[in-house]
Structure 1
């Protein structure tokens, strides 16, 4: 179809090229920024990232509107799931502030995929993106070595590594498995190029050196899921690259032998690696993940078609929590089961189907490059390069079976970039040339990201940043006695109030405001207990109205009612909490404490605290209350 007069013919080519370079450099900077900020999960990081990505989408939209070019229809494959997930956010999600945050990540991942798919396709521009991720990988290797051999407590942004990860390297991430997830995307490409006949001697040495460094860092992570995912993908390498079945099977056996030899060497000579491998030898597999997986299956069985709602796994987990399992999971540690439980069978088919179809198209891209490219072709057009990226994505997909990489923005964006690099030059995919498609994409990219960030994303991230920092400070004081409560409580109260004003539908912020208001009685001279209770009740009421299935919110309301001496109403709240979370020791403790101050209810309180201790014998507050009740008796 001919272009309308003035639509693109009068647009200066130099300005179009400048806009495209701005998109490429901006994407590279954004990916580097978000990766180096603990993978980009912290809300304060997402405030910056969301505006950066909205600005890049605006530039991309202008190019769509002003420069005639065919669109790659692979960009449409994730759209049905995005629409379905948006419906889940609006209609089903029990905690919409969590659901919006997850949906925005899906949407941003798609934006990165579409921008990389269509822009920066020249050799120099592609090198910018590739060099960015190679640089990030090398930075990860250096940080991993420092954490392993110098300071195991160090991580980015001045934070201290969790003790459970001592001896394992996380690089620029907070979790070692995430570093393995980033590096496993790049190792296969380095290896395939190293063994490519078209790669120069210098290139072979460089690729081999990078592959060795990245594998070394993957070993330092101690990520068994990363080892299995990378090993499984590399075993597929000869099966996909070979032309004769004898060579294919021989290559797979050789890689299996090398992997086994490597695992044996690690077990023999590395104490940290031995600690990670020994449980598998003894048949003692990790206890927590199977529990979370079984819970996800139970949730899915109760909500088979539509799921329990976007980002609802951790919200409804308390209703399914097994006895004596006191870990607080954010996700299932299995992205497939997480999607199945949250979005049901319909959502899973759309999500997994889009991913599988993209991988199939990636394999077709490898086959086409093998048929059509010549040894003199550009590196990024070679079948070996595309096969390496595809193998990295397969390793990533295998690793998703035991982790939550799609919930970490830096990893989600890295996977989107890798997939786009495989598919961007496919002639069969670049077939949407009708001007209305370009206009639709242009209008969408110019308006939707900016509107979503301004109206939802930025306020949500800012509110969560304030809330998270304040709650973290209070919890540190409660658990370890760190800080002065006369300083912490008033400051936290202010942060919680600001968070609820910035994003009024953030249920957890309202619950935390109720919690801090109740705690302020201890640090406020001549405080009016009843008045503070009324303020705490008002905040808790907002929290309960926003998410009535959260047991903590009912506990906050019960505490606020107790402060007003409304014992009967408070007891109903505590009963509601233990009904929603029957196997959570903390809420049984709160109920027991409530009963302990009521006349004639000591026996009931004793039974409640004994339930708490039966679920968690080490619950210190429960132990103290039990001793108090039995000594009085």
Structure 2
């Protein structure tokens, strides 16, 4: 087989793997689960392997290196530095591996999938995938289904398609809708294909509507205004744009008055005469306070969720996972330096669009200008990126792997269009360049393969642990093997402590030794993550169980310091005071816990009546009368 044929097959292989990544991620609930993400990671390893091979197979390999590539490299290097300086290694590594994967995918797409036939395959795949998922979302909404495949979604009366969260589905669809509309109105596609794309566009728009995602509605509204605003003033596209606009307006006039769910969602926004932010603002304030701990470098990659409890507002009792604002999340985790690198990449992307625009838009005065696939690509990808950037102000779509990969794919395709404006970003590789790129790709492959192996092994043992009876010795054995694979996973250490603590409290033989084993694992968890108050809480409870109530007090004090507004922490502090028979103090903590969480508060609900009865009994006892003074 000659080199040109082998190079062609390598290119097709890269295209096939990228398409597989783009399709699998959204279908696999956004690839937020570990096994699903490992599939994407394995496919990315395949992409990088073929690219490395292609560097040496292609007779005169060329590199396309637009300015944004330097920003991508800079942020990747910064991510590596922050990983080695992070306090919590395990969550930082999972985040940095994602950064690695996205960066290498971006560069691979720019350098291997810039031809028109490649971009057409990617765009049409995304459009019809979005249409299929939108059909599923419409089915969910019409039938009020609570299922996503075999999973149960927590959002009632809202469609989420193949995602768990409706907001994440909306984030995916809002990126694809501009691609579909640009392909319909601007491209040179055949009429039959355009009919299917028009149908897909309407279905996607319906899918966005039934997510009831207000952030997405705003983003789509801005994008549609920009799209129609630009095309209506371009003579070549005025007629089809007007027809499409009339269709959309007509559909809106017909459906919106009948759609009570849309009215209810809009009214919910200003319910009780205040902006209903779905607790987003309550998550932003702790993020600002955490950022102030290290304004330049941030608290660490993927640290927000694990540092949140110290600044938790009373109104938020669940773990937030993310800030629900990707920009603020970047500022908190990565600091000013990290956010500046992200914004510089966006600025370079925008500058590239402005530079390319006049070369692809054509002259509206030119009656023979006709449609343009180049303009369709630039218009669709730029507006798709704009939509997700707007939505990111109120959500965390860039932390959903499937959506992040779609976004970087659009950015990569958009970056390749700079070649329409200038040839200066092309570089013909020599031996030195090939060696440097090969070393770079091998470094990425090594990191991804190493993490793939470790994550797969850990996941296997964690799954085995879940299949065993809860809090059994068999479960503990599997968890210990998972901890051996990932000794910096503090959550596994904490879970092991819970297994042994539960066995001890159930009165198993040798309960004291089991309690000490539990304390050993809680101590391990505290050493790995000193910000988690639950480890201190459980350690103190074990001391109480062993009769060492005086020693336990300092651990409960530490837990309160790390989670001052947590109902669970307050309830367990109340439990501690029950063990010390200080029922008055116990009641104070149980009542505080109930104020923080009045509905589902098992500990406070169980102990508060007991404590109140103890206090009543103590008050009802006859008090000893003081001796009467002698006459």
TM interval, shorter chain, is 0.7 to 0.9
> 1:562: which partner in 2?
544
Change (3 A) 1:26 1:200: closer
1: CA distance, partners of 2:153 / 2:129: 20
Shift of 1:266: 5.6
Helix, strand or coil: the match of 1:70? strand
Kept after mapping to 1: 8 A contact 2:469/2:475: no
> 2:491: which partner in 1?
508
> 2:294: which partner in 1?
303
5+ unaligned residues in a row in structure 2: which ranges?
Answer: 616-631
1:10-63 per-position Cα deviation (integer Å, ceiling 9, x unaligned): 972111111111111111112222221111010121222222211221111221
Change (3 A) 1:270 1:595: same
Between 375-384 and 353-362, the greater mean CA deviation after superposition: 375-384
Helix, strand or coil: the match of 2:92? helix
2: CA distance, partners of 1:509 / 1:313: 19
Kept after mapping to 2: 8 A contact 1:65/1:442: no
> 2:426: which partner in 1?
431
Q: Which of 596, 608, 612 lines up with 1:615 in the alignment?
A: 596
> 1:479: which partner in 2?
none
1:580-627 per-position Cα deviation (integer Å, ceiling 9, x unaligned): 1100110121122122112x4333323322332232233232122111
5+ unaligned residues in a row in structure 1: which ranges?
Answer: 1-9, 474-484
2: CA distance, partners of 1:258 / 1:334: 34
1:382-426 per-position Cα deviation (integer Å, ceiling 9, x unaligned): 213311111111011101111111111100111111111222243
Kept after mapping to 2: 8 A contact 1:367/1:383: no
Q: Which of 254, 264, 283 lines up with 1:275 in the alignment?
A: 264
Q: Which of 408, 413, 416 lines up with 1:416 in the alignment?
A: 408
> 2:88: which partner in 1?
95
> 2:622: which partner in 1?
none
Between 568-577 and 402-411, the greater mean CA deviation after superposition: 568-577
1: CA distance, partners of 2:520 / 2:281: 39
Helix, strand or coil: the match of 1:339? helix
1:268-417 correspondence to structure 2 within 5 Å:
268-280=257-269, 282=271, 283-371=274-362, 381-417=373-409
Q: Which of 165, 184, 192 lines up with 2:182 in the alignment?
A: 192
1:408-464 per-position Cα deviation (integer Å, ceiling 9, x unaligned): 11001111111112222433463333533443222222x223321333344235535
Change (3 A) 1:32 1:171: same
Change (3 A) 1:297 1:120: same
Q: Which of 456, 462, 468 lines up with 2:451 in the alignment?
A: 456
> 1:482: which partner in 2?
none
Kept after mapping to 2: 8 A contact 1:94/1:315: no
RMSD of aligned residue pairs (Cα, Å): 3.2
Kept after mapping to 2: 8 A contact 1:178/1:405: yes
Would you say 1:106 and 2:96 are equivalent positions?
no
2: CA distance, partners of 1:540 / 1:107: 32
Helix, strand or coil: the match of 1:311? coil
2: CA distance, partners of 1:194 / 1:201: 9
Change (3 A) 1:12 1:201: closer
Between 60-69 and 233-242, the greater mean CA deviation after superposition: 233-242
Q: Which of 11, 36, 50 lines up with 1:20 in the alignment?
A: 11
Q: Which of 530, 536, 540 lines up with 1:548 in the alignment?
A: 530
1: CA distance, partners of 2:326 / 2:524: 31
Would you say 1:120 and 2:113 are equivalent positions?
yes
Change (3 A) 1:260 1:542: farther
Change (3 A) 1:261 1:338: farther
Q: Which of 204, 213, 216 lines up with 2:203 in the alignment?
A: 213
1: CA distance, partners of 2:167 / 2:302: 21
Shift of 1:569: 3.2
Would you say 1:442 and 2:444 are equivalent positions?
no
2: CA distance, partners of 1:406 / 1:461: 24
Change (3 A) 1:287 1:173: closer
Kept after mapping to 1: 8 A contact 2:75/2:338: yes
> 1:159: which partner in 2?
151
Which structure: larger Rg? 2
Shift of 1:199: 4.4
Change (3 A) 1:454 1:595: farther
> 1:179: which partner in 2?
169
Q: Which of 517, 520, 524 lines up with 1:535 in the alignment?
A: 517
> 1:603: which partner in 2?
584
Helix, strand or coil: the match of 1:77? helix
Helix, strand or coil: the match of 1:140? helix
Would you say 1:571 and 2:565 are equivalent positions?
no
Change (3 A) 1:562 1:522: closer
> 1:476: which partner in 2?
none
TM-score by length of 2: 0.87
Change (3 A) 1:197 1:457: closer
Q: Which of 130, 141, 149 lines up with 1:137 in the alignment?
A: 130
Would you say 1:85 and 2:84 are equivalent positions?
no
Q: How many residues align?
A: 600
1: CA distance, partners of 2:379 / 2:214: 24
Shift of 1:332: 0.9
1:189-268 correspondence to structure 2 within 5 Å:
189-196=179-186, 198-241=188-231, 268=257
Shift of 1:469: 8.8
Change (3 A) 1:372 1:495: farther
Between 513-522 and 198-207, the greater mean CA deviation after superposition: 198-207
Shift of 1:512: 1.2
TM-score by length of 1: 0.87
Kept after mapping to 1: 8 A contact 2:283/2:323: yes
> 1:493: which partner in 2?
476
Between 509-518 and 117-126, the greater mean CA deviation after superposition: 117-126
1:144-195 per-position Cα deviation (integer Å, ceiling 9, x unaligned): 1221123511103x21111xx1111111111111111111111112222322
2: CA distance, partners of 1:462 / 1:96: 18
2: CA distance, partners of 1:375 / 1:517: 79
